[in-house]
Amino acid sequence: MTVVVVDGVSKTFPGFRGASSTLALTPITTTVAENDFVTILGPSGCGKSTLLRIIAGLDEPSTGDVTVAGQPVHGPGSDRGMVFQAYTLFPWLTVAGNIAFGLREKGLAKQERDHIVAHYIDKVGLRGFESHWPKQLSGGMQQRVAIARALANDPKILLLDEPFGALDHQTRGLMQELLLQIWEDDRKTVLFVTHDIEEAIFLGSRCVVMSARPGRIKADVSIDLARPRDYHVKVAPDFLDLKMRLTEEIREEALSSV
pLDDT tens profile 163-184 = 998 888 999 999 999 999 999 9
Nearest to 83 by CA among 133, 124, 23, 31: 124
> CA 174, CA 143: separation in Å to the nearest integer?
12
What pTM does this model have? 0.93
Reference 55, options 219, 47, 181; nearest CA is: 47
Residues 6 or more apart in contact with residue 105 via CB below 8 angstroms? none
**Signed CA dihedral, 184, 173, 51, 242: sign only:** negative
- Which helix (H) or strand (E) element contains residue 171? helix 169-186
| Mean pLDDT score, 132-157 | 94
The pLDDT-based confidence of 258 (bands split at 50, 70, 90) is low
Q: Which of 87, 89, 19, 8 is nearest to 54 (CA)?
A: 8
State how far the Cα of 104 lies from the Cα of 51, in Å rounded to an integer: 29
Cβ-Cβ contacts under 8 Å for 235 (sequence gap 6 or more): none
The Cα 126–Cα 43 span in angstroms is 34
| Domains recognised in the chain with CATH numbers | 2-79+157-257 (3.40.50.300), 86-154 (no CATH)
Would you call 190 exposed, middle or buried from its count of C-beta atoms within 10 A (0-12, 13-18, 19+)? buried
The pLDDT of residue 256 is 74
Q: Where are the beta strands (DSSP E) in 48-156?
A: 63-68, 71-72, 80-83
Average pLDDT over residues 41-68: 95
Q: What is the pLDDT of residue 15?
A: 78
For residue 19, pLDDT beyond 80:
no
Q: Write down the pLDDT at residue 20.
A: 85
CB 180 within 8 A of CB 13: no
